[in-house]
């Protein structure tokens, strides 16, 4: 148990019922000692304990992880780290991952939306080409949350746009076109969004 880490997390508003402050590499080492099992993973996920939720994402087999269960699990997410680990360890490998992301980014629940944008970012990072209608919805929804000033959702949306744009010059141009008016906006925050995304593409290409 790392009391310093867990105390620091609580100070930043990350307050699980139990939080041992174990590092992600160590959690992965522990999970590697167990055979993947859906019943075990479901039991771990049901606990409001940071390390157990992360282990659940590592121990649930991709096979048999249904859309219905994906929706149930995402409704339990309250922290950014869990959304990230859910994506990295499990969601990105599902054959219906894009459909989940598309449905989640239009929801109202904060961390459902965040998880959806992060999932799009993971898929795009892997070179996954989005369906045209999903790309359009990604652009529209990203604009919505960026305009609304929803900070966590904004960061996740910007990351998704960056990863989509990294797939090629055409995709980068599409993203810049979506937020082109931000470059001359009277809002410093919107100008910063535009400059951040443009710098990413200028550097990448």
3-state SS of 7-22? HHHHHCCCCCCECCCC
Examine residue 14 and state whether it is found in any structural domain, yes or no.
no
Q: 21-25, 95-99, 132-136: which range is least confident on average?
A: 21-25
Examine residue 41 and state whether it is found in any structural domain, yes or no.
no
**Rounded CA separation 172/97 (Å):** 22
Examine residue 25 and state whether it is found in any structural domain, yes or no.
no
**Rounded CA separation 93/131 (Å):** 17
Give the residue among 179, 124, 171 at the shortest CA–CA distance from 146: 179
Examine residue 33 and state whether it is found in any structural domain, yes or no.
no
Q: Could you give the number of structural domains in the chain?
A: 1
pLDDT in tens, 38-64: 999 999 999 999 999 999 999 999 999
pLDDT in tens, 101-124: 999 999 999 999 999 999 999 999
Q: What is the CATH number of the domain that holds 197?
A: 1.25.10
- Give the residue numbers spanning the domain of 159: 62-204
Examine residue 96 and state whether it is found in any structural domain, yes or no.
yes
């Amino acid at each position: 148990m790392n009391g310093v880490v867990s105390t620091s997390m609580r100070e930043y508003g990350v307050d699980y019922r139990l939080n041992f402050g174990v590092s992600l590499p160590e959690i992965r080492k522990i999970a590697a000692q167990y055979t993947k099992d859906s019943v075990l993973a479901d039991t771990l996920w049901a606990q409001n304990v940071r390390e157990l939720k992360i282990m659940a994402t590592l121990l649930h087999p991709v096979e048999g992880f249904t859309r219905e269960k994906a929706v149930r699990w995402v409704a339990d997410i309250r922290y950014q780290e869990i959304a990230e680990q859910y994506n990295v360890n499990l969601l990105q490998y599902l054959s219906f991952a894009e459909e989940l992301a598309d449905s989640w980014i239009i929801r109202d629940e904060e961390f459902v939306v965040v998880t959806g944008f992060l999932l799009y970012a993971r898929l795009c990072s892997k070179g996954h080409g989005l369906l045209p209608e999903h790309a359009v919805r990604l652009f529209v929804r990203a604009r919505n949350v960026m305009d609304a000033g929803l900070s966590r959702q904004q960061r996740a949306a910007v990351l998704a746009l960056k990863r989509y744009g990294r797939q090629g010059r055409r995709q980068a141009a599409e993203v810049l076109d979506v937020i082109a008016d931000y470059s001359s906006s009277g809002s410093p925050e919107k100008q910063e969004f535009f400059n951040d995304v443009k710098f990413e593409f200028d550097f990448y290409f």
